[in-house]
Structure 1
Amino acid sequence: MYLFKKGLVIIFGSIFIALGINMFLVPYEILDGGVIGIGLILNYLWGFKTGATIIFFSIPIFVIAWFKYREYFYNSLHGMIISSFFIDLLKPFSTIVVFDSVPSAIVGGSMVGIGIGFMLRYRTSTGGTDLIAQFISAKTGVNVGINIFVIDSLVLVVGGLLLSMDSFLLSIMTILSVAMTTSLIARKTMSKPISKESVVH
Structure 2
Amino acid sequence: MLLKYLLGFKVGISIVCINIPIYLSALKHNRSYFYNSLYGLTITSLAIDLFFPLNGIINLPVVVSALLGGLTIGLGVRITLRYNTCPEGIDLLAFLLSKWTSVNIGFLLLIDTSIVLIGFCIVGDKSLIYSFITVEEVSVTAGILTSFKSVIYLR
Q: Give TM-score scaled by structure 2 length.
A: 0.78
Give the 3 Å change call, closer, same or farther, for CA 107–116 of structure 1 in structure 2. Answer: same
Residue 87 (structure 2) aligned to one of 108, 121, 126? 126
Deviations 1:14-41 (A, max 9, x none): xxxxxxxxxxxxxxxxxxxxxxxxxx22
How big is the shift at 1:111?
1.7
Correspondence for 2:31: 70
Is the CA contact 1:105–1:173 (under 8 Å) kept in the aligned structure 2?
yes
RMSD over equivalenced CA pairs, Å = 3.0
Correspondence for 2:19: 58
Deviations 1:120-176 (A, max 9, x none): 2222121412444546x96xx795756543x32320111111233523422221112
Correspondence for 2:123: 163
Give the 3 Å change call, closer, same or farther, for CA 130–118 of structure 1 in structure 2. Answer: closer
Q: Give TM-score scaled by structure 1 length.
A: 0.62
Is the CA contact 2:11–2:49 (under 8 Å) kept in the aligned structure 1?
yes
How many residues were matched structurally? 151
How big is the shift at 1:115?
1.7
Correspondence for 1:172: 132
SS state of the match for residue 127, structure 2? helix
Query: Is 2:73 aligned against 1:117?
Result: no
The one-letter amino acid paired with 2:134 is T
How big is the shift at 1:185?
4.7
Distance 1:95 1:47 in 2: 20
Correspondence for 1:83: 44
Contiguous gaps of at least 5 residues in structure 1? 1-39, 196-201
Correspondence for 1:152: 112
Give the 3 Å change call, closer, same or farther, for CA 176–188 of structure 1 in structure 2. Answer: same
Contiguous gaps of at least 5 residues in structure 2? none
Distance 1:188 1:44 in 2: 39
Distance 2:143 2:63 in 1: 21
Is the CA contact 2:109–2:139 (under 8 Å) kept in the aligned structure 1?
no
Distance 1:127 1:46 in 2: 21
Distance 2:132 2:144 in 1: 18
Correspondence for 1:108: 69
Query: Is 2:39 aligned against 1:98?
Result: no
